[in-house]
Amino acid sequence: MKTKLQQELNAYLDSKGQFSPYYQSMKHILSSALFEEQLQEIINGLEKEDSKSAKSFKLYLDTVIINMESKIAKYKPSVYFENEKVKEIENQGYIIPFYIDEGQEAYVLLGIYKKDDRS
């Protein structure tokens, strides 16, 4: 996992990756291809069990991400990076590492994975 997350951060820093707004109207919160892929896998897995819980998960996740900027001080540094600009959100048993790009006034969601899956 660490290697994939580092690759996403490097791609962003080198302006070589594709990073799209988390929502079209939100140009300051970007998501990596890895984040989008992992999130889709999580949603698909939840939908197989119960579509209502998948919708609830996504709705709550959206709320957390949309409000992340106002709660930035509460997030701890990511265990995968020795960079104070990479922090992580813990939400519903998942970890979301993100990069704070102060120059662009942006937040880059690098990935999302189960808390117990730090391998």
Residues 11-39: tens digit of each pLDDT? 999 987 779 988 877 789 999 999 999 99
pLDDT of residue 87: 96
Q: Maximum distance among all alpha carbons in the chain?
A: 42
What is the percent of the chain where pLDDT is above 70?
98
pTM of the model: 0.90
Q: How far is CA 44 from the centre of its chain?
A: 17
Taken in order of first residue, the domains within the chain and their CATH numbers are: 2-114 (3.30.2310.20)
pLDDT of residue 7: 93
Predicted confidence band at 118 (pLDDT cuts at 50, 70, 90)?
low
pLDDT of residue 119: 54
Q: Could you tell me which of 41, 49, 34, 45 has the C-alpha nearest to residue 2? A: 34
What average pLDDT is seen over the chain?
Answer: 91
Residues 63-91: tens digit of each pLDDT? 999 999 899 889 999 988 989 999 999 99
pLDDT of residue 32: 95
Cβ neighbour number for residue 1 with a 10 Å cutoff: 16
